[in-house]
Homo-oligomer: A and B are copies of this chain.
Amino acid sequence: MTAYERTHGGWTAPTGLPGTLGLSPRFEEVIAGLQQALNTAGAVPSPGPVWYPPVVAQELVERAEYAESFPHLLGTVHALAEGSAPAEGPSSSGVVLAPAACYSVYPSFADRELTESVHADVAGYCYRHEATTELGRFRSFRMREFVMVGDADATVDWRDEWIARCEALFSRLGVKVDVQSATDPFFGPGGRFMRASQLEQSLKYEFVARLSDDDRGTAIASANCHKDHLGARFGITYAGRGTAHSACTAFGLERVTLALIHAHGDDLANWPSLTEAAE
Q: Chain A residues in contact with chain B, CB under 8 A?
A: 1-4, 6-7, 13-17, 20-29, 32, 46-57, 59-60, 67, 71-80, 82, 86, 90, 92-93, 95, 97, 104-105, 107-108, 116, 118-122, 125, 127, 129, 131, 139-140, 147
- Distance between Cα atoms of A67 and B89 in the complex (Å): 11
CB-based contact B20/A47 at 8 Å: no
Q: How far is the CB of A21 from chain B (nearest CB, A)?
A: 7
CB-based contact A48/B72 at 8 Å: no
Q: Which of A22, A53, A78 has the most CB of B within 10 A?
A: A53
Copies of the polypeptide in the assembly:
2
CB-based contact A7/B50 at 8 Å: yes
- Distance between Cα atoms of A60 and B17 in the complex (Å): 9
A75 to chain B: closest residue by CB = B77
CB-based contact B50/A3 at 8 Å: yes
CB-based contact A54/B3 at 8 Å: no
CB-based contact B3/A122 at 8 Å: yes
CB-based contact B78/A72 at 8 Å: no
Question: Hey, which chain B residues are within 8 Å of A55, CB to CB?
Answer: 17, 20, 75, 97, 127, 139-140
Question: Hey, which chain B residues are within 8 Å of A24, CB to CB?
Answer: 50
CB-based contact A53/B125 at 8 Å: yes
CB-based contact B50/A120 at 8 Å: no
- Distance between Cα atoms of A21 and B26 in the complex (Å): 28
